[in-house]
Amino acid sequence: MMQQVRGWVRDARHIAVLTGAGMSAESGVPTFRDAQTGLWAQFDPQQLATEEAFRANPSRVWDWYAFRRELIAKVQPNAGHEALAAFAQRHPGRLTLITQNVDGLHQRAGSPGVLALHGNIFEDKWLDRPGPCCNAEAAARGSPPYCARCGNLLRPDVVWFGELLPPQAMAAAEEAARICEMMLVVGTSGVVYPAAGLARAAAGRVVVVNPEPTELDDVADAVLRGGAAHILPQLLEED
């Protein structure tokens, strides 16, 4: 099966890749709930990752994300991240990388033009519409930082529960699914929508790479059982 899928990779003029939490788990990135340790064990992450929670207690939510940033900063891209980046660099414009992960590991590995559907935990944005006085680089220090003139707060640039995905990134991902001749679905259970819907809308062959069964196996033309760090280097290496 591996050789057959390698042939599909060689022949595909455009490849879309959709990655999920399993991709980063192999690097040691703690899952959403695994980050609930120590002080944070008493909190439900789904009650922290909302705009309502941030407005109610911005310091608590900001500190939790600061804690998660510290955990993620300690890990490195794995061989799967590196294989995707190397392929994209060898074949400019041929691969579109779409990720549900907020850890920035694809970007750190060198993948260009990553479509981060759920944002990036290491970036911030203003909670409310920024005014002329809102300059993130000059934000007053605090937990969270804020505009000293109007009081607008900075928040992590991630998609919280109840929020829409960034429209430009989602539109680009949908276009990649529409034109791809092959889609690799890597390390995602296939239960989170609308991201999972991209695989079901893919125009080309769908290949699932995951050590466990997923909700997208039923639309796959091939399923490669294994982790991304093991499978992707074999799949994307040059002959």
Q: Which of 14, 81, 118, 230 is catalytic?
A: 118
Q: Cβ distance 18 to 186 under 8 Å? A: yes
Q: Residue 113: CB partners within 8 Å, gap ≥ 6?
A: 96, 97
Other beta carbons less than 10 A from residue 36's beta carbon: 18
Cα→Cα distances 32→35, 44, 54, 204, 213, Å: 6, 10, 17, 32, 20
Among residues 41, 42, 58, 40, which one has the least CA distance to residue 50?
A: 58
Other beta carbons less than 10 A from residue 7's beta carbon: 10
The angle, 0 to 180 degrees and rounded to 10, between the axes of the packed helices 228-236 and 79-90 is 20
| Helix ranges, the chain (H) | 2-11, 21-25, 45-48, 51-56, 58-73, 79-90, 105-109, 167-179, 195-201, 228-236
Tell me whether residue 118 is one of the annotated catalytic residues: yes
Q: Which residues participate in catalysis according to the annotation?
A: 118
